[in-house]
Amino acid sequence: MKISPVTGKYVYVDVGGIEYKVFFLENGEGIPLVCQHTAGCHNHQWRYLLEDPDITKNFRVIAYDLPLHGKSDPPFNAEWWKEQYDLTARHFIDFIVSFCQTLELENPVFIGASMAGCIALHLAYEYPDYFKAVIGLEGADYTPGLYNDWFAHSHVHSAEVCSCIATSVMAPVPLIPERDRRLTSFYYSQGAPGILKGDLYFYSVDHDMRETVHKIDTKKCPVII
């Protein structure tokens, strides 16, 4: 019988008085490595890292779903259905820090790609004494132009659009095996309507570090881009 060493749990996280029931996967021991998924997806993006023995022998790998993504619920004590979902930089930062502090993580390393690579810069700038380091894959100080109404248009299947966009920017076979291309596309197809667009609000509207990125104290919090 083959059983994965990865375990899944829920934790209740408070952000500004709003309670979130957050699902996360974890495996390994050592330095906490907190993994944030990309826009419109969920924590299964980190499936290989979570089971890599060379990583998990030194790191406690933790991959969570943002609220409204994957297996994480919408906010518990708020009428979330009455508001359009737009992920702001402030909420994104506060959620990640609250999640880490709720789990009582000491000096975690943060890793993320795309929009999560961008939020890594915010974390390094605002919390250099808390995060041991940040790794921003495909991160940038400014990423405009992707917050579009047609992502949530009634004539568009938003989950299929999300999946197609992800597939279009993946490397071709054989650089990425066909199995992994298909699986990644499948993950992106599971998003709820409006979530991709809401994530892209942070990525293309609220994220702008052109005036502050040079102020990051990389001696306190190393940044890998």
How would you write the pLDDT of the chain (225 residues) with one tens digit per residue?
Answer: 999 999 999 999 999 999 999 999 999 999 999 999 999 999 999 999 999 999 999 999 999 999 999 999 999 899 999 999 999 999 999 999 999 999 999 999 999 999 999 999 999 999 999 999 999 998 999 999 989 887 777 777 778 888 888 888 888 888 889 999 998 888 888 888 889 999 999 999 999 999 999 999 999 999 998
Report the pLDDT value the prediction gives residue 95, as an integer from 0 to 100: 98
Report the pLDDT value the prediction gives residue 6, as an integer from 0 to 100: 97
What residues have CB less than 8 Å from 208, skipping those under 6 apart?
A: 141, 142
- The yes/no answer on whether domain 7-143+206-224 falls in CATH 3.30.70.2740 is no
Place of tokens 């808390």: 130
Phi, psi of 13 (to 5 degrees): -120, 130
Write down the number of H helices and E strands in the chain: 7, 7
pTM: 0.93
Burial class (CB in 10 A: 0-12, 13-18, 19+), 154: exposed
Give the closest residue to 200 by CA, choosing from 121, 85, 107. Answer: 85
Report the pLDDT value the prediction gives residue 117, as an integer from 0 to 100: 96
